[in-house]
Structure 1
Amino acid sequence: MKVVAFERSVQGTGASRRLRNSGKTPGIIYGGKDAVSVIELDHNALFHALRKEAFHSSILDLEIGGKAQKVLLRDYQMHPFKPLVLHIDFQRVSATEKVHMRVPLHFINADTSSAVKLQGAVVSHISTDLEVSCLPADLPEFIEVDLSKIEVGHGIHAKDITLPKGVSLVLHIEQENPVLANARIPAVKSADTEAAPSAAGAPAAEAAKDKS
């Protein structure tokens, strides 16, 4: 994805406020061997870009003065109650250095699992993203989590999924192996199942009582 920015010559709280009032968003670019760069971006274009999932997990081509550089979105601040981006941070990336990034999870095939089809289980998504390590060229926009074999009372863990080529879990995720999704029978459904035999047995019990 391409992002167009402009060099910002004036800094400070007052300058940033005036920048926002003119429809711009202040930001910075850091990382690599170059010094930190202060930039400004068109607010409306940035606001719509932030609504796209890929903008948060892809290598971005950030263009300043006709020259592009590879960056990652690292942080941004929103106004507490207005649809306003207050500030944004980008990090430069090198093609030869691995990056750590949180990548969105896309859950698939839950409806085809026996837990859902035959047992009426409900699948809960415990995590919506996963932190991985890879070279910038190998960074996926998302990772698919196949739920076709999920079982009731069991979860799909981080180590259970197939990662794209060149992508690995970061160390602490590897060690913790968190649950990404699980399947459980709803409490109401369980109660109905247990009550059914009792309800079926009631007429027989009443009939026996009448005979006596």
Structure 2
Amino acid sequence: MSAQGSPYASGPPSDRGSGARGAAGSLSRASDRFERWFLRVLTVVLVVGLPLAAAGAGLASYEASMRTVRAQAADRHQVTARLTSKVRGQDWAKRPARVRWTDADGTVRTGTALVPTGTPAGAAVRVWVTRAGTVTTAPVGPLNATTSGWLVGAMAGLGVAAVAYAVREGGLVLLNRRRYAQWEAEWDVVEPRWSGRFRR
């Protein structure tokens, strides 16, 4: 009697003609096939979703930042102002000081700007002001928008990768728990028969 037809042959019967398990081999279980399918889906999500998320978030951030750049460029301009008093101090830091300037329409305005210490009263300083005549900071430039876009895009890509990794690890943990439970149940059935052969 051949080994293939023997009731004592080790392992399950050959599954060469079956299309259910395919090239994975006769020992491939449903959980193994599910794991391969699960990992392939995650790989596709990662390969497709990561660049899409990074590009989408980066472009959205860039466009939002560029709107701020254009708005500030339209609202802010530099004027030459004069210090109304000396800026006292011995360090290299800038300190708030009162300045006065005249608008294009002849209106005299005053405000507070950051000026290097030691600058004497009456010195000319360049300050940024709004259309309303309020001292403000320099407008952000396109470089800020580009940097923001790249940073947000990179963070979005890392977020997708982190989520995909967490899903992969969580899925494999649950799958292995199910496998261990199945193996334990199968062993409870097989072990008495298997150990019985050695007790005879």
TM interval, short-chain normalised: under 0.3
Whose Rg is larger? 2
- Between 1 and 2, higher relative CO (CA 8 Å, sep ≥ 6) is seen in 2
More helix by share: 2
Q: Taking structure 1 as the reference length, what is the TM-score of the superposition?
A: 0.26
More strand by share: 1
Q: Taking structure 2 as the reference length, what is the TM-score of the superposition?
A: 0.27
